[in-house]
Amino acid sequence: MTAAHTAASASAAPASGAHSSGTVDRDEVARFSAIAAEWWDPAGKFKPLHRLNPLRLGYIRDTACRRLGRDPLSRAPLSGLSLVDIGCGGGLLSEPLARMGADVTGVDAAERNVKTAAAHAAESGVPVDYSATTAEDLAAAGERFDIVLAMEVIEHVADVPLFVKSCAALLAPGGVLFLSTINRTPKAFALAIVGAEYVLRWLPRGTHDWRKFLRPSEVGAALRAEGLAFRDVTGVTYNPLTDEFRVNPRDLDVNYMGWAERV
């Protein structure tokens, strides 16, 4: 099975330039750009991200509070903390985290995504600073954050070591990096590609390339090369009978998330 390149994604790609530059794979970004209007539709193409949201928000909030000395039960537990959401898409994480009090910057390589995100945030009255840029450009500009998110992005970038290096550079002293992706296992091929793209048709065909999935050990090695280490990695599993995702620390076979800090 090969990625089906749609006419929409082809026309959204820049007319000139290489296939990729820095961490940006132009085909990948064009694919997301083509469906940018659907970000906030809970039954649309981003349904899996909507379904994952409560789990990952709880994980981010609880971990950030524990590491950065905040009370997870307070009304705005992340207030006073700066956060950057790399590959923010429509802002499904940026917005709720801003509501938790974080000072949120959302960046995405696709201009259409940040436009959708900014329009939604304005409508909701949530302050988020969105811009169309990349981790490497922010890092080069000297930006630093208490919390860096790279959720469901690393399997879409053109250059994994540069992406991890840039995310690491964005961390302020004592900062926490959150990362999630899909494992490169036969089970992930069956569920995340055949299941989600061909059987359930949750995602457009070609959304994921199995070869770009990363094993936790590979992400761990990329982190270590930048002086960071995973402090926790947990699985997130989908149960088709209940149509629910769950945190499952023992099953990293398909979706997983974790957090890292400087060692």
- Stretch of 91-99, 125-133, 145-153, 191-199 lying at the interface with Mg ion (CB under 5 A): 145-153
Of residues 38 and 261, the one with the C-beta less far from ligand SAM: 38
- Give CA–CA dist 183/178, Å, rounded: 16
What is the closest distance, in whole angstroms, from the C-beta atom of residue 171 to ligand SAM in the complex?
A: 17
CB of 166 to ligand SAM, least distance (A): 9
- Kindly tell me which of 152 and 253 has the beta carbon lying closer to Mg ion: 152
Task: Tell whether residue 108 is among the known ligand binding residues.
Answer: yes
Nearest distance from residue 263's CB to Mg ion, in Å? 27
Q: Which is nearer to ligand SAM, 71 or 237 (CB)?
A: 237
Closest CA to 60 of 87, 44, 89, 81: 81
3-state secondary structure of 57: helix
Q: Quick one: 21 or 185, whose CB is closer to ligand SAM?
A: 21
87 is in an annotated binding site: yes
CB 204 within 8 A of CB 240: no
Q: Residue 136 and residue 133: Cα distance in Å, rounded?
A: 8
Interacting residues with ligand SAM (CB under 6 A)? 23-24, 28-29, 32, 49, 86-89, 92-93, 108-110, 113, 134, 151-153, 156-157
Question: Under 8 Å CB-to-CB from 79, ≥6 apart: which residues?
Answer: 70, 100, 101, 102
∠ CA(194), CA(196), CA(106), 5° rounding?
A: 130
Residue whose CB is nearest to ligand SAM in the complex, by number: 87
Minimum distance from CB of 155 to Mg ion (Å)?
Answer: 5
CA distance 114 to 208: 21
> Which span sits near Mg ion by CB under 5 A: 42-50, 138-146, 148-156, 241-249?
148-156
Provide Rg for the chain, Cα atoms.
17
Distance of closest approach, residue 89 Cβ to Mg ion, in angstroms? 10
Q: Which is nearer to ligand SAM, 29 or 233 (CB)?
A: 29
- The answer to whether the annotation marks 231 as part of a ligand binding site is no
Alpha-carbon gap, residue 244 to 102, rounded angstroms: 28
What residues does 129 pair with on adjacent strands?
Answer: 105
**How many residues interact with Mg ion (rule CB under 5 A)?**
1
Using DSSP, state whether 93 is helix, strand or coil: coil
Phi and psi at 62, nearest 5°, equal -65, -45
- Is 205 among the annotated ligand-binding positions? no
Beta strands in 187-227 (DSSP E): none
Rule CB under 5 A: is residue 152 a binding residue for Mg ion? yes
Nearer to ligand SAM, 85 or 253 (CB): 85
Single-letter amino acid, residue 204: P
Binding residue positions for S-adenosyl-L-methionine: 56, 87, 108, 151
Q: Which residues sit in the known binding site?
A: 56, 87, 108, 151
